[in-house]
Amino acid sequence: ETVVNRIAAGEIIHRPANALKELIENCLDAGATNIQITIKDGGLKLLQILDNGHGIRREDMSIVCERFTTSKLKKFEDLSNISTYGFRGEALASISHVAHVTITTKTSDSNCAYRACYSDGKLVPAKPGISAEPKACAGNTGTQITAEDLFYNVPTRRKALKNPSDEYNRILDVVNRYAIHNSGVSFTCKKQGSNQADVNTLSTSSTLDNIRHIYGNVASELIELGKSFRKLEFKVNGYISNANYNLKKMNFLLFINHRAVENSSLKKTIESIYATYLPKSTHPYVYLSLEINPQNVDVNVHPTKREVSFLNEDEVIAAIGDTIQERLADANS
Ligand code: ADP
Ligand code: MG
């Protein structure tokens, strides 16, 4: 059973950046406004994430790493109406099958924090011979989750991830995306032992401030988008680069109902619109946030698939394409 769980876990958690994405979404679900991330060896040795969200109650600590235990899904029917990030209850369970997990957490109504260690979904003693029960300790309201030695028990996967600095860059990309999309939340990300953060945004800065901070001069050429489509039941907001700004490759940040996702037909449509404005070797920066009626979003896609589909996809994509086309034409007339 452990092996089966480990294989299932490996399908959800491919690499440190996947694990971190799930952990960030949990912090945001918990209402955090401050998220601090510490990484060692590209996340393979250590992934640590500290938030100031609502914390986990002492009595829930024994089950949070069990598969399909989620506080976010009451009934199966809720699947079609889901508006929070997490709805599967598989992320922490999966991580605990492929790493050593420690959670320190405090709710605002508790006098103290509690710390517990997990393996294969269950509480385990911090060291042999002591109790596995959560242990009272000092701490602020919020949660710190530590995942150590990722894939220590999946040697093939561990071997496939050869380059920690590559993994670190993927991590920074995930943090940057969530930082840009969540302008009310401050994010930091640094390597363990370093006193310099590689991502450092403030809860008071705007989306545009964050884009400028993270991508530098791209922000000077950005066009703001914002449009609602009543009949198709969606809204699009975001920032797109003007035709005369050049990147080495298209930088496309897509959020659907606040989850970072991918949609390759939308991406292709946008690329082909820019192709009429840009010289062949140059590419745009595009950040889009779509809010779609949750009932129209396909939530049954497998968790490994970041690719998301939705109802009336062709019409929705065409509408977004037209909006981008108009704004680019205006800016360049
Ligand atoms: P899901 O997010 O789909 O519910 P997860 O496995 O990601 O499943 O998390 C399991 C549960 O653990 C969550 O439903 C939540 O109750 C709790 N949890 C995880 N991370 C946090 C956090 N940072 N703050 C508060 N609660 C958390
Ligand atoms: Mg989750």
The CA 26 to ligand 1 mean position distance, Å, reads 5
Say what the pLDDT of residue 76 is.
46
Closest atom of ligand 1 to 91 CA is 6
Say what the pLDDT of residue 327 is.
93
Each residue's pLDDT tens digit, 283-324: 889 999 999 987 787 755 555 557 788 889 999 999 999 999
Cut 0.90: pTM above it: yes
Say what the pLDDT of residue 246 is.
64
C-alpha triplet 77, 71, 180: angle, nearest 5°: 95
Say what the pLDDT of residue 300 is.
54
Q: Tell which CATH classification among 3.40.47.10, 3.50.50.60, 1.10.150.20, 3.30.565.10 matches the domain 2-200.
A: 3.30.565.10
Contacts of 198 (CB under 8 A, 6+ apart): 172, 189, 190, 191
Say what the pLDDT of residue 85 is.
46
Q: Where are the domains of the chain?
A: 2-200, 219-331
Helices 91-98 and 2-12: crossing angle in degrees, nearest 10, is 110
Question: Does the fold of domain 219-331 match that of domain 2-200?
Answer: no
DSSP-H helix ranges across the chain: 2-12, 16-29, 91-98, 155-160, 164-181, 207-215, 264-275, 313-331
Just give the CATH number of 219-331.
3.30.230.10
Q: Is the ipTM of this complex over 0.95?
A: yes
Say what the pLDDT of residue 303 is.
56
Please give the full DSSP string across 56-67, using - where no structure is assigned.
--GGGTTTTTST
Strand residues in 198-266 grouped as ranges (E):
199-200, 222-229, 234-241, 251-256, 259-260
Residues in the chain predicted with pLDDT less than 50, given as ranges, are 75-77, 79, 83-85
Ligand 1 lining (C-beta closer than 6 Å) = 22, 26-27, 29-30, 51, 53-56, 64, 70-72, 86-93, 143
Backbone angles phi, psi at 257, to 5 degrees: 45, 45
Each residue's pLDDT tens digit, 95-139: 999 999 999 999 999 999 999 999 999 999 999 999 999 999 999
- Which strand (E) or helix (H) includes residue 192? none
